[in-house]
């Protein structure tokens, strides 16, 4: 009984406690265990609403910005380049922003500034997708008669496209993964870069295992053909001083654009005589982007990579350690300047001892006023002023410095060459006589 009584009392107590906890709400509201005072509810709900509002505003700003940049971007390509045909689909993910605005490109940018001479170029046009059949038709089934060049990675044909325009059609060797990478890179890069000093990609074909690039046709072929014609190549008249200077400036512009007007910057990595193509006026355009490196994987400006490129043009630090920077291209550019100055190839085992490697032979001459004239291509005699020669030699000497940090930026090279080329044009127009042995377009 006692036990029952205490149990009853406990139960009573419990009920009492519960009743205390669940006091009826004012205004006859039902009992709710979790109901919080309205002030607490406001403390929780108001910050949540504010957070939502902030997020919505941020989202709105992002969307507006995207809309704005899409409007400003005259490049019709999306940042992801999609290559797609029945047999091959791939998406190039690397994104390159071209710093120069379309207006800049028209009036300056990669183009020459006011009075610089190059005609405003047509707007970047979409790379077209060609079928193998179309390119077969363009080249008479890749006939021998249409062959214009042979490179390490492919064979180049002259073709006439369906719209009647002439193009260079490069059929790449089947190169496994490396070859595929080079093809994708070249298509991806060239379809988004625009600079009058870079040979334009008109289209491509990725039909089954065939990989072809359709590039703007350059009637005067490569600089290699003119400076160092092969045994089987027809000899052309030696390029004169004015043309060589202008080629040097065009090439400097192309590299300046890649290094300093694209984000992330692009390292060409295979800058050499045969990658420089010449149009009908001997104006130069850069090609051969299959080994290019986009600086997105840069670490403090350095890319550690497998050493690729062409002997004689490789910067010493890149050749020995694989550390690649834009300064590796500057070194290769210096070698090209030396080739233009001397008419010699970068490596020539047939030369006397001490003269095999162009850079090692030329470097002591370049900084010596008396000796610099001894190294000039004999075909250039009488065409240059000593002042100009010394200046070009000094630029070359800076570019081929062993220490990469001492090499100039391509912008500096461009700025140093502009007055020399301008002087040439004024000499050309004032005397209206050719100091040169080949016609030079009066455009600077």
Ligand X SMILES: Nc1ncnc2c1ncn2[C@@H]1O[C@H](COP(=O)(O)OP(=O)(O)OP(=O)(O)O)[C@@H](O)[C@H]1O
User: With CB under 6 A as the contact rule, which of the stretches 15-23, 116-124, 214-222, 248-256 interacts with ligand X?
Assistant: 214-222
Contacts with ligand X in 373-392 (CB under 6 A)? none
Q: To the nearest 10°, the Cα dihedral for 192, 91, 137, 163?
A: -40
Nearest to 288 by CA among 339, 244, 222: 222
Q: For 235-272, give one letter per residue: b (16+ CB within 10 A) or e.
A: eeebbbbbbbbbbbbbbbbbbbbbbbbbeebbbbbbbb
Nearest to 199 by CA among 267, 286, 281: 286
For residue 264, say if its preceding peptide bond is cis, omega within 30 degrees of 0.
yes
Q: In whole angstroms, what separates CA 269 from the centre of its chain? A: 11
* Binds ligand X by CB under 6 A, chosen from 94, 224, 265, 325: 224
C-beta of 172 vs 375, nearer to ligand X: 172
CB-closest chain residue to ligand X? 149
CA–CA gap between residue 233 and residue 365 (Å, rounded): 31
* Binds ligand X by CB under 6 A, chosen from 148, 161, 286, 375: 148
| Alpha-carbon distances of 412 from 108, 399, 407, rounded to whole Å | 16, 11, 10
Contacts with ligand X in 286-345 (CB under 6 A)? 287-288
* Binds ligand X by CB under 6 A, chosen from 194, 217, 241, 271: 217
Q: For 298-307, give one letter per residue: b (16+ CB within 10 A) or e.
A: beeebbeeee
Min dist CB 51 to ligand X, Å, is: 56
Min dist CB 332 to ligand X, Å, is: 13
C-beta of 290 vs 408, nearer to ligand X: 290
CA–CA gap between residue 4 and residue 12 (Å, rounded): 12
User: With CB under 6 A as the contact rule, which of the stretches 118-126, 217-225, 346-354, 420-428 interacts with ligand X?
Assistant: 217-225
* Binds ligand X by CB under 6 A, chosen from 218, 362, 389, 399: 218
CA–CA gap between residue 108 and residue 120 (Å, rounded): 9
Sketch the per residue contact string, 181 through 200, with ligand X: x for CB under 6 A, - otherwise: ------------------x-
Min dist CB 147 to ligand X, Å, is: 9
Min dist CB 271 to ligand X, Å, is: 10
Query: How many residues belong to the chain?
Result: 444
C-beta of 319 vs 418, nearer to ligand X: 319
Say if strands 266-267 and 293-294 run parallel, antiparallel, or are unpaired: antiparallel
Min dist CB 163 to ligand X, Å, is: 17
User: With CB under 6 A as the contact rule, which of the stretches 23-31, 93-101, 152-160, 366-374 interacts with ligand X?
Assistant: 152-160
Q: By three-state DSSP, how is residue 51 classified?
A: helix
User: With CB under 6 A as the contact rule, which of the stretches 1-9, 49-57, 150-158, 382-390 interacts with ligand X?
Assistant: 150-158
* Binds ligand X by CB under 6 A, chosen from 153, 261, 269, 365: 153
C-beta of 134 vs 414, nearer to ligand X: 134
C-beta of 168 vs 341, nearer to ligand X: 168
**Tokens 């690729």 label which residue?**
308
C-beta of 308 vs 409, nearer to ligand X: 308
Count of residues engaged in binding ligand X, rule: CB under 6 A: 25
The 3-class secondary structure across 79-143, one letter per residue, is CCEEEECCCCEEEECCCCEECCCHHHHHHCCCCCCCCCCCCCCCCCCCCEECCHHHHHHHCCCCC
Nearest to 99 by CA among 83, 85, 110: 110
User: With CB under 6 A as the contact rule, which of the stretches 28-36, 212-220, 247-255, 350-358 interacts with ligand X?
Assistant: 212-220
* 112 φ/ψ angles, rounded to the nearest 5 degrees: -70, 150
C-beta of 196 vs 408, nearer to ligand X: 196
225 is in an annotated binding site: no
C-beta of 228 vs 351, nearer to ligand X: 228
Min dist CB 169 to ligand X, Å, is: 9
Residue 168 near ligand X by CB under 6 A: yes
Min dist CB 365 to ligand X, Å, is: 28
Min dist CB 206 to ligand X, Å, is: 18
Structure tokens that stand for 112 in this block: 């020459």
Cβ atoms 265, 213 nearer than 8 A: no
Say if strands 201-207 and 128-129 run parallel, antiparallel, or are unpaired: parallel
User: With CB under 6 A as the contact rule, which of the stretches 7-15, 143-151, 374-382, 386-394 interacts with ligand X?
Assistant: 143-151
Contacts with ligand X in 236-275 (CB under 6 A)? 270, 274-275
Binding site for ligand X (CB under 6 A): 148-154, 156, 168, 170, 199, 215-218, 221-222, 224-225, 270, 274-275, 277, 287-288
């Amino acid at each position: 009984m006692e036990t029952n009584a205490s149990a009853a009392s406990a139960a009573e107590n419990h009920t009492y406690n519960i009743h205390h906890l669940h006091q009826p709400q004012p205004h006859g509201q039902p009992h709710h265990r979790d109901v919080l005072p309205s002030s607490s509810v406001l403390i929780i709900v108001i910050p949540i609403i504010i957070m939502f509002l902030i997020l919505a505003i941020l989202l709105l700003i992002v969307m507006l910005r995207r809309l704005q940049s899409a409007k400003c971007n005259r490049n019709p390509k999306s940042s992801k380049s999609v290559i797609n045909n029945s047999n091959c689909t791939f998406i190039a993910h690397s994104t390159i922003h071209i710093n120069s605005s379309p207006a800049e490109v028209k009036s300056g940018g990669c183009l020459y500034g006011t009075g610089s001479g190059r005609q405003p170029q047509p707007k970047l046009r979409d790379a077209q997708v060609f079928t193998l059949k179309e390119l077969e038709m363009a080249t008479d089934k890749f006939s021998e008669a249409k062959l214009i060049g042979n490179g390490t990675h492919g064979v180049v044909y002259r073709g006439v496209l369906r719209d009647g325009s002439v193009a260079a059609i490069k059929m790449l060797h089947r190169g496994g993964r490396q070859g595929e990478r080079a093809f994708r890179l070249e298509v991806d890069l060239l379809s988004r870069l625009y600079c009058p000093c870079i040979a334009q990609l008109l289209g491509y074909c990725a039909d089954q295992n065939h990989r072809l690039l359709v590039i703007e046709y350059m009637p005067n072929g490569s600089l290699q053909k003119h400076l160092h014609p092969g045994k089987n190549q027809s000899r052309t008249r030696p390029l004169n001083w004015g043309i060589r200077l202008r080629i040097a400036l065009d090439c400097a512009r192309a590299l300046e654009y890649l290094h300093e007007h694209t984000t992330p910057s692009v390292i060409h990595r295979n800058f050499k005589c045969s990658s420089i193509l010449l149009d009908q006026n001997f104006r130069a355009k850069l090609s051969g982007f299959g080994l290019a490196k986009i600086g997105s994987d840069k670490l403090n400006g350095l890319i550690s990579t497998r050493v690729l490129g062409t002997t004689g043009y490789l910067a010493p630090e890149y050749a020995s350690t694989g550390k690649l920077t834009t300064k590796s291209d500057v070194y290769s550019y210096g070698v090209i300047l030396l080739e233009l100055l001397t008419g010699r190839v970068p490596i020539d085992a047939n030369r006397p001892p001490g003269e095999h490697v162009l850079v090692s032979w030329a470097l002591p001459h370049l900084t010596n006023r008396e000796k610099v004239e001894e190294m000039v291509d004999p075909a250039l005699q009488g065409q240059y002023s000593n002042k100009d020669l010394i200046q070009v030699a000094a630029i070359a000497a800076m570019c081929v410095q062993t220490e990469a940090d001492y090499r100039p930026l391509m912008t500096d090279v461009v700025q140093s060459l502009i007055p020399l080329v301008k002087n040439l044009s004024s000499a050309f127009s004032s005397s209206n006589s050719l100091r040169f042995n080949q016609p030079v377009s009066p455009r600077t």
